[in-house]
Amino acid sequence: MASSLTRKICAAGNSCKNAASFNCEGCTQAFCINHVSEHCRVLGEELNEIIGEHNDLKNSLIQQTTKPESHPLMKQINNWEETSINKMRQKTHELRQELVHLIATHTNEISIRLQKVSDQLSQGQEHDDFIEIDLSCWKKTLTNSNWIFLRHHLCSLIKMKQVH
């Protein structure tokens, strides 16, 4: 029988005072014959947990390569894209409405000018009452109206080019 000085006690807990007959090289603890199987069972459970985590990670990686659209960042990018497109649609809608209003206002202003000239031209022609100064004035008014009309379109084109 071994002396009490060289005997190791089982590491399973305070309740076990049995002599340890098996040494675990992993944790460097010694266990009695009754508790060595319990220690092996605990190690087996830990191994199964690690295998489960490994399989979960492996499945996640496979899913990311086979279905990249399901990745959370891909979903965020898709949401960002949709939000951006909606904002752009809203802005273009607002710009179209603004342009329709500006065109209507501008067209109305030019129409008023043209109506005045038209009235003057009709009156001058009907009564045969015009001179060179009238012709020059009417021509100048038409040229200015045409210039305003063209300038408006040129400014709109320049602004559109700046947006792009």
- pLDDT higher than 60, residue 164: no
Residue 15 lies in a domain: no
- Same domain? For 47 and 123 the reply is no
What local confidence, expressed as pLDDT, does residue 96 receive? 85
My answer on whether 62 and 78 are in the same domain is no
Q: Are residues 100 and 47 in the same domain?
A: no
Regarding whether 86 and 61 lie in a shared domain, the answer is no
pLDDT in tens, 66-106: 888 888 888 899 999 999 999 999 998 988 888 888 888 88
pLDDT of the residue at 89: 94
For residue 13, is it within any domain?
Answer: no
Same structural domain for residues 53 and 31?
yes
In a domain, 106, yes or no: yes
* Digit-coded pLDDT (tens) for 28-44: 999 999 899 999 999 99
Asked if the model's pLDDT at residue 158 lies above 80, the reply is: no
Residue whose entry in the numeric block shows the structure tokens 């500006």: 102
Domains identified in the chain, total number: 2
Burial of 8 (0-12, 13-18, 19+ CB in 10 A): middle
Confidence at residue 160, expressed as pLDDT on a 0 to 100 scale? 65
Mean predicted confidence (pLDDT) in 148-162: 68
